[in-house]
Structure 1
Amino acid sequence: MNKKKWLINSLLGLVSLSLTAIAYSGWSIYRYGSHSTQIQADAAIVLGAAAWGNQPSPVFRERLNHGIALYKAAKVNTLIFTGGKGDGDELAESMVGKHYAMQQGVAEADILTETQSRTTQQNLYYSQQVAKVHNLKRFLIVSDPLHMKRSLQMAREMGMDAYPSPTPTTRYRSVSSQLKFLARESYFYLVYLVFKI
């Protein structure tokens, strides 16, 4: 086999391997998102998403509603809202979440916030610091189903006693929007596995 042919075959093999890894990653993320834990925990960590002014975006609202439902069902005693300010925002995502939850009847004393994070990993890290101050040790992680596998892996690698609680509803309803989100999550999941970022 000449050098050119060997190079072509090697590149095709690498592309095939990469596509297989991405496909498997996407399939495992999709399956994992259907797993929900029914245990009681000290707190639910509601992962941040965009805020539109002083209102949660539709995606964030779904996460907030699920966290509030866990609280009202006595699955958790505390809600931890995460997320800092996006570019041009007046309020941090977590503060928008806090105001929304209080409007839904959650006691202010049962809400904790962190306002520094901009990424999922930061959401979890800063929430963990807040939780330590309040002696909270067991957590339900609240996010969209397709976001759950990466979030849980990050949380557990930080040493958190964390369990999945994906939203039962999602704003990613169309096949197109779900495929885009799944492709994005597959990419970020593989990046996290390799680089831990």
Structure 2
Amino acid sequence: MTRVVGAAVLAAVLLVVSTALGIWWTARQDSHPSSDAIVVLGSAQYNGVPSSIFEARLEHARDLYEDGVAPVIVTVGGKAAGDQFTEAEAGRDYLAGAGVPEEALLAVPEGEDTLESMRAVGAAFTERGWSDAVLVTDPWHAMRAERMAEDAGMEAESSPTRQGPAVQTRDTQFRYILRETAAYLLYRVTGESVAGAPGIG
């Protein structure tokens, strides 16, 4: 019995460590394949103004668009109770104000967390005959976002942001990796999402 318990504990530890390393490794990658659309994962917005985390994602998506990675930027995310704007609308309006043509913007104003948002984007892709996406989110969120996008029927790679609060300090990075490790494992086991730090539910 002791050996069985010990083996189970060791297996659990190895699973957690390997997942954390996978999150760290994915965070260090930056893919720019030619794609159907750049998908910006939503984050907090305040009366239509993107938070600093969200703004960093939007600016990175605009850079990718200007580099010719994809002809369309998709912003995604619903709204909290009492909000007047969805994350998707706030993101679209920010990018339009930054000079991205309206015909190159698509808002998908659905989803209270990453899983719901990816399912909504997957449906939008299917309607338009799209398949390939470059996901823009925080580095530590990239691996889970890729998995959820693929489960929603997309061929997804990620180009994480390198600016913003999520990457400011080593302490912040460590906390995000721990949180994402738990969230990723929960998703793989249950198929459900979990609320985490702002914008990474």
TM-score, length-normalised on structure 1?
Answer: 0.89
Question: Secondary structure of 2:29's match?
Answer: coil
Question: Secondary structure of 2:157's match?
Answer: strand
Aligned counterpart, 1:3: none
Query: Aligned ranges for residues 42-121 of structure 1 at < 5 Å?
Result: 42-121=36-115
2:173 is the alignment partner of 1:178? yes
Question: CA offset at residue 11 of structure 1?
Answer: 5.6
Aligned counterpart, 1:146: 140
Q: Once the two structures are aligned, what percentage of the paired residues are identical?
A: 26
Gaps of 5+ in 1: 1-5
Aligned counterpart, 1:156: 150
Contact 2:118-2:149 at 8 Å conserved across structures:
yes
Q: Output the amino acid matched with 1:183.
A: L
Q: Output the amino acid matched with 2:189.
A: V
Alignment match of 2:184 (pick from 186, 189, 192) = 189
Report which stretch shifted further, 162-171 or 14-23. 14-23
2:33 is the alignment partner of 1:39? yes
Question: CA offset at residue 20 of structure 1?
Answer: 3.1
Q: Output the amino acid matched with 2:137.
A: S
Q: Deviations over 1:103-135 (max 9, x none)?
A: 110111111111120111111111122223333
Alpha-carbon distance in structure 1 between the residues aligned to 2:75 and 2:134 = 12
Question: Secondary structure of 1:140's match?
Answer: strand
2:126 is the alignment partner of 1:132? yes
Question: CA offset at residue 171 of structure 1?
Answer: 1.9
Alpha-carbon distance in structure 2 between the residues aligned to 1:120 and 1:161 = 16
Q: Output the amino acid matched with 2:156.
A: A
Count of residues in Structure 1 that have an aligned counterpart in Structure 2: 191
Question: Secondary structure of 2:165's match?
Answer: coil
Q: Deviations over 1:164-187 (max 9, x none)?
A: 211132422112211111111000
Contact 1:50-1:86 at 8 Å conserved across structures:
no
Q: Deviations over 1:75-104 (max 9, x none)?
A: 110011000002332110011001100111
Contact 1:113-1:127 at 8 Å conserved across structures:
no
Q: Output the amino acid matched with 1:192.
A: Y
Gaps of 5+ in 2: 193-201
Q: Deviations over 1:54-94 (max 9, x none)?
A: 21111111111111111111111001100000233211001
2:28 is the alignment partner of 1:28? no
Root-mean-square deviation (CA, aligned residues, Å) is 1.8
